[in-house]
DNA sequence: CGATCGCTTGAGCTATCTCAACCGGCGTGG
DNA sequence: CCACGCCGGTTGAGATAGCTCAAGCGATCG
């Protein structure tokens, strides 16, 4: 279902709209190379500027902010297809850091090329703005989760979101999906303490709802998970045409 | 310091860069009119589509999401200069609602014009993406606030942010700035209960740090407020070139 | 004059936090 | 090859920030 296109640094187009040959040509010119990053690599750092932008091709990572107190707020999890560095592209500096969790393969291109994109390919520029608006939407949703839901609902919500994204990417095999993060990462994403996150995971495990261990998430009862996450089972599908 | 330009629907350019005559002309063509909305008007509604986009010229409002449980998450507060409806512009539908708190004057333009903007004015389109990236930054910051700070720090942070924005807009008169929201709005923005928000405000009042009543915020001790908000007093200024 | 709205305050409850200890697996260095 | 240290995960116990429920107050409005 998902077609990989390693020539396309900007995987912004809904999948059902194929690129024209001309577009593919442009994209190849736009792309400056591919990057193979080890697990634990810091791709971008808060406050600094990055001359490079990326699209994740393989592997997983996360975006986070470091607070004055030294704590971390994980902004979101990075999966294949995600665009990395829009802020660095248009603003003076990044407002969050980006780090790989597993080994990642990334499509690299130059931020200076961004302007030519806007000048010569308005439809692509439009897509880019669409990405940003989408990102804004997900952040707003996260805000609502942190603002109004209790521990177990937050964890459940995270699992549902990750499951749905993984499903769209074809990453699920036999009800299991890779989820290579640490419990601390999840805790930092959900605004919970590590201890409480751990106990919440235990509860979900014991209730036979979902099991996350050894880097894999196994959802045993999707229906009940959605219920806990306060999500409609037959909600309209997440619009996430990025790859 | 701030120059008002009611001909400019897209107040995206840093203030120190004046528009050329040609640009002003285009903007006037782009703009379809002005809207005078009463307090309590719903400008956009979650799930619906909006044929119109706005720039706030006067007055204040707020963006919010309604949760399954019926609760509200206030995404942010709208002040003059804010762009409203980017999501509606590029996505199928709005992901949050927008409501006026006071009477507002808005600059209106048509979402269909957005595409011509991208096609004919790449620099402006670039600005629009810059806006979106900026919005993303602020949402990320809010996320960190909800995820990691306690009640009093959240309120203090909100006050500092609002103060700084108001200052940039020249809305501060004798240490007082208009803040026409209800305590419930603030509570919904910060993920606190109304009762706890109220008690926190009382504490700030009694400690002589800040006083919010009758629609005005009076910051008595900015230095201490920043301390509570866990903000550096001499942090680099908030980059918010939007009017 | 009664009803509504926003604000205020008290009291008890609990979800979540912090502190602290322990465990198994893994990599490193002796 | 063993021993040690470190990392991620797990669990218990006590402390508390923040929640819910409930009541009251002044202002505004029809």
What is the pLDDT, as a whole number, of residue A155?
97
Q: Which nucleotides of strand C lie under 7 Å from a protein CB?
A: 6-11, 15-20
Whether A18 has a pLDDT exceeding 60, the answer reads no
Q: pLDDT tens digit string along A91-111?
A: 778 889 999 999 999 888 888
Q: What mean pLDDT do residues B124-138 have?
A: 86
* A110 dihedral zone (left: phi>0; alpha: psi -120 to 50; beta): beta
Q: Assign B239 a pLDDT band (cuts: 50, 70, 90).
A: low
- Least confident segment among A141-145, A222-226, A235-239, B20-24: B20-24
B121's tokens:
């004015």
B73 with A143: Cβ contact below 8 A:
yes
Q: How far is the CA of A214 from the C1' of C25 (A)?
A: 12
Q: How far is the CA of B194 from the C1' of D21 (A)?
A: 13
CA distances from A128 to A10, A117, A207, B66, B130 (A): 8, 10, 42, 27, 11
Whether A21 has a pLDDT exceeding 60, the answer reads no
Kindly report the number of other CB atoms within 10 A of residue A29's CB atom.
Answer: 11
What is the pLDDT, as a whole number, of residue B26?
61
Question: Nearest protein residue to D7's C1' (by CA)?
Answer: A182
Residues with CB under 7 A from strand D: A 182-184, 194-195, 198-199, 201-202, 213; B 150-152, 191-193, 195-196
Whether A6 has a pLDDT exceeding 60, the answer reads no
Tell me how far apart the alpha carbons of residues A204 and B157 are, in angstroms, rounded to a whole number.
Answer: 35
Whether B104 has a pLDDT exceeding 80, the answer reads yes
The residue of chain B with its CA nearest to that of A139 is B139
Q: Which nucleotides of strand D lie under 7 Å from a protein CB?
A: 8-13, 17-22
Whether B62 has a pLDDT exceeding 90, the answer reads yes
- Better pLDDT: B234 or B237: B234
Whether B21 has a pLDDT exceeding 80, the answer reads no
What is the pLDDT, as a whole number, of residue B95?
87
What is the pLDDT, as a whole number, of residue B11?
44
Q: What mean pLDDT do residues A174-196 have?
A: 95
Helices (H) and strands (E) in chain A, counts: 8, 11
Residues of chain A with Cβ-Cβ distance to B141 below 8 Å are: 65, 95
Q: How far is the CA of A39 from the C1' of C30 (A)?
A: 29
Tokens 């600059």, located at residue: B107
Tell me how far apart the alpha carbons of residues A103 and A125 are, in angstroms, rounded to a whole number.
Answer: 29
Q: How far is the CA of A103 from the C1' of D4 (A)?
A: 29
Strand order across the A216-219 sheet: A176-178, A216-219, A210-213
Q: pLDDT tens digit string along B170-192?
A: 889 888 999 999 999 999 999 99
Tell me the whole-structure pTM to 2 decimals: 0.86
What is the pLDDT, as a whole number, of residue B117?
83
B90 with A130: Cβ contact below 8 A:
yes
B168's tokens:
């940039």
CA distance B67 to chain A (A): 8
Q: Assign A119 a pLDDT band (cuts: 50, 70, 90).
A: confident
Q: How far is the CA of B202 from the C1' of C10 (A)?
A: 15
Q: Assign A169 a pLDDT band (cuts: 50, 70, 90).
A: confident
A58's tokens:
């393989």
Residues of chain A with Cβ-Cβ distance to B190 below 8 Å are: 147
- Helix (H), strand (E), coil (C) string for A72-86: EEEEEEECCCCEECH
For A117, residues 6+ apart whose C-beta sits below 8 A from its C-beta are: A10, A30, A124, A125, A128
B147 with A146: Cβ contact below 8 A:
yes
Whether A24 has a pLDDT exceeding 60, the answer reads no
Whether A10 has a pLDDT exceeding 60, the answer reads no
What is the pLDDT, as a whole number, of residue B12?
42
Q: Assign B28 a pLDDT band (cuts: 50, 70, 90).
A: low
CB nearest to A144's CB, from B65, B89, B135 = B65
Whether A1 has a pLDDT exceeding 80, the answer reads no
Q: Whose CA is closest to B46, among B92, B95, B91?
A: B95
Q: How far is the CA of B234 from the C1' of D14 (A)?
A: 39
Whether B63 has a pLDDT exceeding 60, the answer reads yes
Whether B138 has a pLDDT exceeding 50, the answer reads yes
Q: What mean pLDDT do residues B72-84 have?
A: 92
A136 with B136: Cβ contact below 8 A:
yes
- Least confident segment among A21-30, A54-63, A134-143: A21-30
CA distance A101 to chain B (A): 20
Kindly report the number of other CB atoms within 10 A of residue B51's CB atom.
Answer: 9
B69 with A230: Cβ contact below 8 A:
yes
What is the pLDDT, as a whole number, of residue A173?
87
What is the pLDDT, as a whole number, of residue A114?
83
Nucleotide nearest to B196 (CA to C1'): D18
CB nearest to A126's CB, from B69, B118, B134 = B118
Q: Assign B8 a pLDDT band (cuts: 50, 70, 90).
A: very low
Q: Residue A92: CA atoms inside 13 Å, Cβ hemisphere, count?
A: 7
Q: pLDDT tens digit string along A54-89?
A: 888 899 999 999 998 889 999 999 998 888 988 887
Are A75 and A63 spatial neighbours (Cβ–Cβ below 8 Å)?
Answer: yes
Q: What mean pLDDT do residues A113-140 have?
A: 85
Q: What mean pLDDT do residues A171-192 have?
A: 94
What is the pLDDT, as a whole number, of residue A238?
55
CA distance B161 to chain A (A): 16
Whether A157 has a pLDDT exceeding 90, the answer reads yes
Whether B218 has a pLDDT exceeding 50, the answer reads yes
Residue-range domains of chain B with CATH: 5-122 (2.60.120.10), 142-229 (1.10.10.10)
Q: Assign B102 a pLDDT band (cuts: 50, 70, 90).
A: very high
The residue of chain B with its CA nearest to that of A121 is B119
Residues of chain A with Cβ-Cβ distance to B73 below 8 Å are: 140, 143-144, 147-148
B132 with A137: Cβ contact below 8 A:
no
Work out the mean pLDDT of chain B and round it to a whole number: 84
CA distances from A59 to A179, A184, A241, B7 (A): 10, 19, 19, 47
Nucleotide nearest to B197 (CA to C1'): D18
Whether A212 has a pLDDT exceeding 60, the answer reads yes
What is the pLDDT, as a whole number, of residue B74?
96
CA distance A192 to chain B (A): 7
Q: Assign A48 a pLDDT band (cuts: 50, 70, 90).
A: confident
């Amino acid at each position: 279902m998902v077609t990989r296109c390693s020539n396309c640094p900007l995987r912004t187009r809904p999948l059902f709209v194929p690129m024209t040959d001309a577009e593919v040509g442009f994209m190849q010119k736009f792309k400056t190379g591919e990057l193979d990053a080890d697990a634990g690599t810091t791709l971008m750092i808060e406050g600094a500027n990055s001359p490079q932008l990326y699209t994740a091709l393989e592997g997983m990572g996360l975006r986070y902010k470091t607070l004055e107190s030294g704590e971390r707020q994980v902004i979101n999890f990075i999966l294949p297809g995600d665009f990395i560095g829009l802020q660095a592209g248009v603003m003076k500096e990044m407002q969050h850091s980006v780090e790989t969790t597993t080994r990642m393969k990334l499509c690299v291109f130059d931020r200076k090329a961004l302007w030519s994109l806007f000048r010569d390919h308005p439809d692509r520029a439009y897509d880019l703005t669409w990405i940003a608006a989408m990102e804004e939407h997900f952040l707003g949703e996260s805000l609502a989760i942190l603002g109004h839901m209790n521990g177990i609902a937050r964890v459940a919500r995270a699992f549902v979101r990750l499951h749905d994204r993984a499903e769209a990417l074809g990453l699920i095999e036999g009800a299991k999906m890779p989820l290579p993060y640490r419990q601390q990462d999840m805790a930092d994403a959900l605004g919970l303490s590590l201890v409480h996150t751990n106990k919440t995971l235990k509860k979900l495990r014991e209730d036979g709802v979902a099991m996350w261990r050894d880097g894999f998430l196994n959802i045993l009862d999707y229906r009940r998970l959605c219920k806990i996450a306060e999500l409609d089972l037959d909600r309209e599908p997440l619009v996430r045409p990025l790859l």
